[in-house]
Amino acid sequence: MTMQQHDASTEGNNPPSISTIDKTLWWLAAVEPTLLQQYTVDRNRFRIIGLTVGCTGVFAVMAWTYFFSTTTAPAWSFLPLGIFMGFVIVNIDRALIKTMNPFKKQWLPLLLRLLLALVIGLFMAQPAVLYLFDQEVKTQASIDNGVRVQQKRQQLDSIYAGQKTAITQQLVQFETQAQARYTELLQAQQAYLAEADGTGGSGTKGISVIAKAKQQAYAERTSAYNQWQAQHQPTMDSLRRELAKIETTIRKDEAAFAQLLNHGFLTRIEAMQHLVAQNDAVAFRYYLIMALLMLIELMPVIVKSLMPAGPYAVAAMETEQFDIDQIRKDLTAKKAAADHDLQLRQATEAASISQMHERFASLAKAEIEQESVHWQANAGRTSRQFWQSLFKRLLR
């Protein structure tokens, strides 16, 4: 059907008015309302497509709003950002279904559209799944954060291991020496007491010569032990403070790391993956819900690809072709008019140049005749003077 035949067939018919709901649904379906309202069969088809795009948009708003709630964005911006991203998704879907031609079933463009819709649907399904498994994900995220704290502690221990080992070895050496000297002190004390009460040594009870000798040895051991303590105790205390300082640094770094842990989007995604890997029941429901949610994003493309070509598709194609032909005719007419104007202008310029040449030739002839008469009247003038005078007259 040509455009003229189409106009003739619809002439005299009063198309029904378009309701606000239909305008909205048809806008979502990316159709021309003034053209679609003439075809009753296709109206409901595109209402269905509009509903699928609208449902996808509502789902996108909810998914993106929840996604932004898991980030550091301010609370007041969650819904506006979700609405903005939902609007973006709706327009992407409108662009996808608008570019689908029901008369050309080309699989490569269709696969590309499905792939794009699949990627968008896969991302939008993630926040929805996290919302459905919110409690389980939070529990697993807490466990994962605990594991991260342990791993951070191991990393910090490995960083300071060299310093701690060197200080600990020095401290152990000093403590070993202190314990050895203290043991010798205790042995001298016990030997003296045993000699004094007769339970050891010579067996003589009381302060005898031997007891006094052992008492002197005990006193010397005590003095040596105290002198050693006074000499090395500051160093041992300094080593202990170094160990305590390192441990405090590790604790501060560990606490700072713990403050960075959160239940953000990526943390929840990782927790969800751990749940899926650890529990087959969760994995089955996870993939099932993911498939269902992704179908929401794929539905507009699937519905449009399965929809047969109706009267609207034919009329839209004919209208588009008619507009293209009309533009080509207009451009051809404009080019022909421009060519005609150019030829006319060139002819006019050629005639003007020819007239100028003729006029110049006649003027030049008259000037030559006048100058010749003047030259002949003055017999004393040379031919050089004649030509110089003639050139001046012509160039005036």
Comparing CA positions, the residue from 35, 53, 7 lying closest to residue 297 is 53
Token pair of 91 as six digits: 């327009």
* Domains in the chain, number: 3
Same domain for 349 and 382, yes or no, is: yes
Same domain for 284 and 365, yes or no, is: no
pLDDT value for 109: 61
Domain that holds residue 72: 3-132+279-309
pLDDT value for 206: 56
Same domain for 167 and 214, yes or no, is: yes
Same domain for 202 and 283, yes or no, is: no
Same domain for 107 and 20, yes or no, is: yes
Whether 269 is in a domain gets the answer no
Whether 126 is in a domain gets the answer yes
pLDDT value for 375: 62
Same domain for 89 and 60, yes or no, is: yes
Burial 207-234 (b: 16+ CB within 10 A, else e): eeebbeebbebbeebeeebeebeeeeee
Same domain for 182 and 258, yes or no, is: yes
Same domain for 216 and 249, yes or no, is: yes
Measure the CA angle with vertex 245, ends 240 and 249; round to 5°: 150
Whether 268 is in a domain gets the answer no
Whether 184 is in a domain gets the answer yes
Amino acid code (one letter) for 84: F
Whether 316 is in a domain gets the answer no
- Distance separating alpha carbons of residues 96 and 53, to the nearest angstrom: 11
pLDDT value for 9: 44
Helix (H), strand (E) at residue 37: none
pLDDT value for 360: 65
Whether 142 is in a domain gets the answer no
Same domain for 8 and 114, yes or no, is: yes
This prediction's pTM: 0.56
Whether 272 is in a domain gets the answer no
- Distance separating alpha carbons of residues 289 and 173, to the nearest angstrom: 64
Angle, helices 209-260/134-197, rounded to nearest 10 degrees: 170
Whether 318 is in a domain gets the answer no
Mean pLDDT for each consecutive 10-residue tract of the chain (396 residues)?
43 64 88 82 87 90 86 85 90 84 67 74 78 84 86 87 88 88 83 69 61 78 86 88 89 85 79 84 82 80 79 79 85 86 82 72 67 63 63 61
- Count of beta carbons in the 10 Å neighbourhood of residue 133: 21
Q: What are the C-alpha distances in Å from 248 to residues 242, 244, 374?
A: 10, 6, 123
pLDDT value for 303: 83
What does residue 310 show for φ and ψ, rounded to 5 degrees? Answer: -100, -170
Same domain for 16 and 127, yes or no, is: yes
Same domain for 9 and 128, yes or no, is: yes
Q: What are the C-alpha distances in Å from 17 to residues 24, 33, 36?
A: 14, 10, 12
Comparing CA positions, the residue from 151, 150, 133 lying closest to residue 273 is 133
Same domain for 339 and 244, yes or no, is: no
Comparing CA positions, the residue from 220, 217, 219, 192 lying closest to residue 206 is 192
